[in-house]
Amino acid sequence: MKSVSIRSTSPGRKAPAPQQQPNGPAAQKFLILPLSPCDDLPSLIAKRAYELYSERGYRNGSALDDWLDAEREVLSQIPPP
C-alpha cells in the first residue's frame, strides 16, 4: 500500500496557535452581581444554586437547600434603594 501525505495548498499559511487557559487567581469564576432588583433574579439564583450543587460533588437530595442558600446570597448583594 502506498502512503500519501497531505500538504496545504496555501503557501505560508500557519495553523493558529492553541489558546492557553489562564491559571491562578485570574481564572477564578465570579458571581455576576445584579445591578438592581429588576435584573433577572431567578436566572442568577439558578446559576448560583447549580454552583452550590457542583461544590457538593453533584450529590442529590439538597436542591431546596441549594436554592434557598443561593437566593439568600444573591438577594443580599442587591444594594438598598
Read off the pLDDT of residues 17-50 as tens digits, 9 standing for 90 and up.
Answer: 545 545 544 444 555 554 555 668 899 999 999 9
Residue 68 maps to a domain? yes
Count of the separate structural domains present in the chain = 1
Tell me how far apart the alpha carbons of residues 70 and 46 are, in angstroms, rounded to a whole number. 8
Neighbours of 66 (CB within 10 A): 21
Enter the C-alpha cell of residue 10.
496555501
Q: Which residues, including other chains, have CB under 8 Å from residue 75's CB and lie 6 or more apart?
A: 41
Enter the C-alpha cell of residue 12.
505560508
Contact 53, 67 (CB under 8 A): no
Residue 37 maps to a domain? yes
Section 47-75 average pLDDT: 95
Residue 19 maps to a domain? no
pTM: 0.52
Enter the C-alpha cell of residue 71.
437566593
Residue 46 maps to a domain? yes
Range of the domain at 54: 33-76
